[in-house]
Chain A
């Protein structure tokens, strides 16, 4: 006969404030095979855990039920507790009285107590049928894949490479650097973005442990923690990376003009070009959508071919595919900037003198389209009145509900730079809703902006209008003065927010990682596991997890790298034993399960049974993620999920439906 201990946690008032924990404990005590039933204010505390351990020894308990918070929170904690007392850690059942009862039924305490009793009864019914299991042990690959070569990916790669791990840094664009490379200055210190970023870019390219794969994309991911297999396709540059010296002779002769992506389309580059002035690697790339030879005919143009002294140009280059084995993956693919043309009332893209903050960043930059001169892109004149409009696409239920977290500080930085460069005669207005300056040194930066006579108007314009000659005007009601003001600026800068990367939809399917409601990647726990995805061995860093400024991005990237080091420092890692097992005698060899498995963990092999050849399915344990798809698909019920068997579930259902004693 099993000897069961039941423990009901108060979780302070989280559970006990709604559920009558004493009644639940009394009820549990009367259930069959329950030897001990107790309640305690915090089961997860040292005292709570010690109580369980002492009871296991004193009463010779062999199964434990703990009615507490979600198993996602503390199942591991309590598994360790029972293991320390000498029990197999899988002879433990967690009953969720917090998320499933007290938090959702806070207005009906009596019914909540009844539900808690039922759930405890079901837990006791299941715990009796649990089987002892042993963790699987697998070896790990000591390589890491980092996806995205922005500041997050660069920082994580450098940390990992310095720790001695081989890093494959994959970047979609022809150069690493990401968004930070486009910025002019960084808040709140106003140090030059390129000056602090480019050394890191060069370090990443030169590091003996980092293999840089630019102009490349991940196309397939399989395997599991410690043993991922990834396919990467390197798109053709049509330029030999070994030969190109980055002299730019080719770009000077190319007759085709193309909008410059690095300058947000504000200037033009050529069909053969180098991505940015500080591109790493500094290798030319031909845009196949614009190059005359690649687009039309292999006999036309060819001017770059003649100009290139290094003979690096190769129109025959084909995509290359790499297959790599890595132990862990860091996703650091960054975010995009909100497209303000979705709000036609702001006249973005309709008027050239309404620009987004990232475009203005290029205008401010010495290597940008205006060589750093602040001019109105419409007429080339120096603006006399500038307006910054905040919260564009952010904090807006029509588009993105989240705060972009960088819009306020970016505007303050840009406004200060305008004041510094154009002097005191230029009028600068910031139309804002709330000014959020929450980081280290940020509020001091806000004060600095006010000291520089930047005017803050507490109200957002409803719409921006343009006069026929191209000037802009708009009305704004100012909370501070209770007046409707009209402002006529030469240039309007929209604080367009950070929004989820459009690639995330594809990536989340490719890497089996979830996304939160806002569209960004979902962390395993917002407070306790912010650097991990819910898939073991896949970590997230930077603004693909949510909008972030540079300090936060770098901190998260180093954190994710540390988590990877923690994982890969061991030679062998332990995996949950929650896999499918196949009863050979019941398997009919129908092969229904094999294509259903999303992790390619089932293979069919022929075996000789009683003199005849028969097909039998086999689970590759190391690959099985325990999703249970094969279990429900098997027509002969030959497949069983360990720790989640049909018998265990049915016992719970039976307990739930039976009359209460």
Chain B
């Protein structure tokens, strides 16, 4: 391979790329023509410097390994805007999801928040626990004060089924 990343001296790993491709349901993302719509609209770009077009380009060039161990893949907030807007149906979202799965397989460090989310789902059945909100006038609102229905928490059978799915996957 004649390609080298002069910043890190890394070389592309085409086998890893093939392995990566086999995990995607379509190869459409090779059609990416770098129009940058995904990055222009990326919810995670401003705070977390996620540039989805770069991820697509890096995978296309074969720099899969460094991505799988990179923190950047965990910054996607899965708003799916890029899936909606991509003119080539080559959205980076599906790539990011495969990269995350690879990171888990490799037992790379997973941000703590993700593990917390899993345990929250197990406990409450929700990705985010019901919160109290304080306004600028220091008024406190919760579901009850807003007349929202009470949330029921899952039964034990849900937790067992959930754990079973987690183990199978």
Contacts and interface: CB of A to CB of B under 8 A. Distances in A.
A479 B41 contact: no
Interface stretch (B29-37, B120-128, B134-142, B159-167): B29-37
B99 to A, nearest CB: 20
Interface string A41-77: 0000000000000000000000000000000000000
Interface in B60-89: 81-82, 84-85, 87-89
Contact of A462 (B34, B38, B88, B89): B38
A435 to B, nearest CB: 12
A434 B33 contact: yes
Most central of B39, B51, B87 by chain A CB within 10 Å: B87
Interface string B107-134: 0000000000000000000000000000
Contacts of A615: none
A461 B45 CA distance: 14
B25 to A, nearest CB: 16
A409 interface: no
Contacts of A463: 41, 81, 85
A476 B41 CA distance: 7
Contacts of B106: none
B36 A397 contact: no
A476 B33 CA distance: 16
Contact of A476 (B34, B40, B84, B87): B40
A398 B86 CA distance: 8
A581 to B, nearest CB: 52
B144 interface: no
Given A391-B35, A460-B35, A484-B46, A396 B87 contact: yes
A462 B41 contact: yes
Contacts of B36: 458-460, 476-479
Contact size range, A: 20 to 34
Nearest to A462: B41
B87 A462 contact: no
Most central of B36, B45, B53, B81 by chain A CB within 10 Å: B36
Interface residues of B, number: 21
A459 B40 contact: yes
A433 B40 contact: no
A395 B89 CA distance: 11
Most central of A391, A460, A477, A484 by chain B CB within 10 Å: A477
Contacts of A398: 87, 89
Interface in A391-406: 391, 395-398
A460 B37 contact: yes
A395 B37 CA distance: 13
B89 A475 contact: no
Contacts of B40: 459-462, 474-477, 484
B87 A397 contact: yes
A462 B33 contact: no
Nearest to B38: A462
Nearest to B54: A482
A397 B51 CA distance: 22
A476 B45 CA distance: 11
B85 A484 contact: no
A319 B153 CA distance: 72
A475 B81 CA distance: 14
A551 B41 CA distance: 38
Contacts of B81: 462-463
A479 B82 CA distance: 17
A477 B39 contact: yes
A398 B90 CA distance: 11
A462 B45 contact: no
Most central of A345, A434, A460 by chain B CB within 10 Å: A460
Contacts of B87: 391, 395-398
Interface string B85-97: 1011100000000
A462 B46 contact: no
Contacts of A391: 35, 87
Most central of A458, A462, A463, A474 by chain B CB within 10 Å: A462
A481 B167 CA distance: 45
Nearest to B90: A397
- Nearest 7 Cβ contacts at the A-B interface: A462-B41, A459-B36, A396-B87, A477-B39, A433-B35, A462-B40, A476-B40
18 contacts: A391-B87, A395-B87, A398-B89, A433-B34, A459-B39, A460-B37, A460-B40, A461-B37, A461-B41, A462-B38, A462-B40, A462-B42, A462-B82, A462-B85, A475-B41, A477-B40, A484-B40, A484-B45
